[in-house]
Structure 1
Amino acid sequence: MFAGLWARNVAFEFRSATLAKLPRPGALRHLHQSISKPTPSRSHSPFKLLNLCNAKRAFASRTSVSPRLPFDPRFFSANAGQAQAVAAELPVLSPPPVGWWLLGSAGLVFGVIVVGGITRLTESGLSITEWKPITGVIPPLSQAQWEEEFEKYKATPEFKLLNHSITLEEFKSIFFWEWGHRVLGRVIGISFVIPLVYFALRKRLTATLPKHLTAMAFLIGAQGALGWYMVKSGLEDSLLEIPGAVPRVSQYRLAAHLGTAFVLYAGMFGTGMAAIMDWRYATKGWWAGLKEGAARWKDILENPAVRRFSRGVKGLTALVFITALSGAFVAGLDAGLLYNEFPLMGGSLAPPAEELFNPAYAKSPDHSDLWWRNLFENPTTVQFDHRCLAITTYAATALMYASTFHPALRAVLPPLTKRMATSAFAMANIQVLLGISTLLYLVPIPLAAAHQAGSVMLLTTMLHLLVSLRRPGTAARVWRQALQRKTSA
């Protein structure tokens, strides 16, 4: 009697513990039916009881599995053999956190571009005379340290020629702009490299991403070195020997520094948007705002009108990049302080030819370098070039936007593409207004900084427009096909 009660008590406790671990109602009913069948006898031999317990433990270990991930290979297979085959065939697809991390990194690069522009506008870039990648993170903390840093600045051409009457407190204000710009660059490096290592080790990156993102990481490091190379050009004592020289960084190095930042931003933003859109395509079948995009994207991209439109968008994106880069030469030469009127320059649409191609800028005895040196070193020519590029960019953006209303093209363009074409034209209007206002009001810092930020925003809309016309990645297409096969099975 006691043996029978004890056996039933053990069986009841084991059954309760097993049922609590079961993940699905179907499995719960199956287990309940398997262990609740009436037995011919109330007594159990020790061997039967042991076998019953072992069977229950084996069943519990099979049923108490962890929740399935959306892309768990078992989701696509009905048995273990098929699961292993599918897992071997399916490539890695980057999850949304990878895309959001890249977009966050792009946001930091956007911030450092804006801060860098303010640093240039406030003439703060030459306030720190040394490059200390590690210890430079900590600013001067004591009065003695501030005095020491100020003495280093007093030895620079900028102090001797322009800021010889600056006080320590005024020095601190320009110091912190340059210090903040440098520290933000270090933050970008850390916030990019650490997640990159994590995602790579956890195998969360699509096959082509590791080498591309590693190249971006090296570019971030090179950007720091390039920034110091740029600053160094404004600290050279040879500037003191040039009559009428203005201590400032080389416009060539400034353009290279800004251009590298644009490339980094474009790479991070474009790759992040592509990762997020690939995930949506693989899991939901959405593409460029079309919920039935999984079935239509190929036909849309092969349409001749869409292919022509896509080539035009690529050319316009390159034009936006070149126009923004020409702004670095305007900033480096303070060319925005000349001809503060629009659309005329000195009463005509263009300055006199002898001013645009001034022989004084040629350094070769035969003047063979006359044209290109004026393009990049003559402030008048640099401003005129930037105006021409800006007007051309605006006109091209307007034409691109107008083309989206052509019935044949509008009928096939995906919704996201049409929205981003509208956004690009709207941003082009804002950017033109900011540029003209900056010129007319003699380059005030708020307007000039907003104008530089506007160039990045216009580039952003063009990049988003390009991504909207991108075919889904290989990994996303493979996952989508696997999901469709599982759904139809």
Structure 2
Amino acid sequence: MSNTRKTVMAGLTPGQKKNRRQVANWLYLVVSLLLVSLLVGGITRLTDSGLSITEWKPLVGIIPPIGEAQWLEEFAKYQQIAQYKHLKYGMTPGEYKFIFWWEWGHRLLTRIVLVIFTALPLMFFWITGKLERQVKWRLLGTLALGGLQGGVGWWMVSSGVGDSDLLYVSSYRLALHLILACLLIVSGLTLARRLESCQTPPASHGAHVFAGWLIFLILVQIYLGALVAGIRAGSDFNTWPLMNEAWIPAGLFDLQPWWHNFFENTMTVQFVHRSFAWFLIVITAVHAFWLQRRFPGTAHVFRAMLLLVLMLLQAMIGVATLLLAVPLNWGVFHQGFALVVLCYAVIHWVSCKGTLPVPSESKH
């Protein structure tokens, strides 16, 4: 263990170490539930369930329809929106119940995570004095981000209900909703890992900055993937490695103004997502081999190489998902494995950075 790490661990009392371990375990639980919620959200999107509940009722919305009359009332509200009129016309009440339960389950799960598994335990740890001052404000910021995420979720759904002529939720809002959820995972996992005592010394400043940029690039790629999902771009151009029988297909900038192509042209959106994936793999390889030169034989190199392998596996899953025209199981698998890559990149970055410093109130 390095002198820095020894200093950090020696400065903590047994009680502080125990508190850190308890808070870290709680955060791991929250992150795990957030990952489950994201997967449920992915299934909700792929089954076209996201607009099945046309109102936002944070409290009474927890209770699903009871009795046939209430079910028919909810169904009647859904029949007023554009998605039903143009895509789901003639749907039976039984089919409506299927999509309703996915959206209701997603909303319920996010409320449970935010209130029961996040806000209440935070109050407990705060009141019992188990939180260091530097941890308190980070957790409050994460909780505020969770509240914002819930608001953005309804803002996203509202884009496709009422008098809107959209058949699905806004792809812009969908992408923002997903990125905020990913930031919650990054925030919680980062703090949990930093509260633990790492078994290897931290790497250099340059190494952990490089690893941090990888997280940013992965988030960019997830954002691009959300744009693909939002406009159903994965259902077109289902060939690889050529796209529309060309390496650089014609029609990438057919829309005007030109920047609309990056958000609304299915060809351009998918092309950018494909291309950025290979750019990300190259940058990850550069990072891994750079660490091999600077820290040969260390756990940092092993983690970077494993991250590269995960990137390649994710690319293969993405290609298979594309070739199969995004069936439900492969679409969820592709999204889920992207979260695995993101989480492991966070673990790698924190390991390069090191344990959270000893709180100033403990230094004498």
SS of residue matched to 1:474? coil
* The 10-residue stretch of structure 1 (390-399 or 331-340) with the greater mean CA deviation from structure 2: 390-399
Cα gap change, 1:94 to 1:476, in 2 (>3 Å): farther
8 Å contact kept, 1:206–1:475: no
State the secondary structure of the residue aligned to 2:325: coil
Q: What are the equivalent positions in structure 2 for 1:347-362 lying under 5 Å apart? A: 347-352=245-250, 355-359=251-255, 362=256
Name 1:221's counterpart in structure 2. Answer: 147
Other-structure match for 2:156: 230
Deviation at 1:183, TM superposition (A): 0.4
- 1:272-305 Cα distance to aligned partner (Å, 9 max, x none): 111123xxxxxxxxxx423xx5xxx5xxx4xxxx
Amino acid at match of 2:339: V
Find out whether 1:418 has 2:304 as its counterpart.
no
| Structure 1 stretches of 4+ moved >6 Å | 476-479
**Residue 269 of structure 1: how far off its partner (Å):** 0.7
Equivalenced residue count is 352
In the TM superposition, what whole-angstrom CA distance separates every residue of 1:186-220 from its partner, at most 9, and x where no partner exists?
Answer: 01112100010111111111221111111211221
The one-letter code of the counterpart of 1:273 is R
Q: Which residue of 2 aligns with 1:391?
A: 278
Show the counterpart of 2:4: none
1:437 aligns with 2:320: yes
Contact 2:134 2:359 in 1 (8 A): no
- Paired residue type of 1:255: A
Match of 1:17 in 2: none
Aligned ranges 1:62-461 → 2 under 5 Å: 71=13, 94-190=19-115, 191-239=117-165, 247-277=167-197, 288-290=198-200, 293=201, 301=203, 306-352=204-250, 355-359=251-255, 362=256, 370-406=257-293, 408-410=294-296, 413=298, 415=299, 417-461=300-344
CA distance in 1, matches of 2:225, 2:219: 10
Q: How does 1:466-485 map to 2 (within 5 A)?
A: 466-475=349-358
Asked whether the equivalents of residues 334 and 379 of structure 1 are also in contact (C-alpha less than 8 Å), the reply is yes
Deviation at 1:391, TM superposition (A): 1.1
TM-score by length of 2: 0.91
Distance in 1 (CA, whole Å) between partners of 2:19 and 2:223 is: 32
Q: Give a deviation string over 1:211-245, Cα, whole Å, max 9, x none.
A: 11112112212211111110110114241xxxxxx
Structure 1: distance between partners of 2:193 and 2:14: 24
Normalising by the residue count of structure 1, what TM-score does the alignment of the two structures yield? 0.68
CA deviation vs aligned residue, 1:3-45 (integer Å, no higher than 9, x gap): xxxxxxxxxxxxxxxxxxxxxxxxxxxxxxxxxxxxxxxxxxx
Which segment is superposed worse, 265-274 or 203-212? 203-212
SS in 2 for 1:95: helix
Shift of 1:335: 0.5
Larger Rg: 1
Aligned-partner SS, 1:237: coil
Q: Which amino acid aligns with 1:202?
A: T
Contact 1:340 1:439 in 2 (8 A): yes
Secondary structure at the counterpart of residue 40 of structure 2: helix
C-alpha distance in 2, partners of 1:106/1:378?
34
Q: Alpha carbons of 1:421 and 1:167: their partners in 2 closer, same or farther (altered >3 Å)?
A: same
Whole-angstrom CA distance in 2 between matches of 1:455 and 1:173: 27
The residue number in structure 1 matching 2:3 is none
Q: Structure 1: state its 5+ residue gaps.
A: 1-69, 74-90, 240-245, 278-287, 363-369, 483-489
Q: 1:208 is paired with a residue of what secondary structure? A: helix
Instruction: Tell me if the contact between 2:172 and 2:227 (Cα under 8 Å) persists in the aligned partners.
Output: yes
Q: Which has the higher contact order (CA 8 A, sep 6+)?
A: 2
What is the identity, as a one-letter code, of the residue corresponding to 1:358? D
Alignment check: 8 A CA contact 2:82 2:167 kept: yes
Q: 1:72 to 1:269 in 2, by over 3 A?
A: closer
Distance 1:209 1:308 in 2: 25
Unaligned runs of 5+ in 2: 1-11
Work out the CA distance in 1 between the residues paired with 2:360 and 2:311. 35
Give RMSD over aligned pairs.
2.1
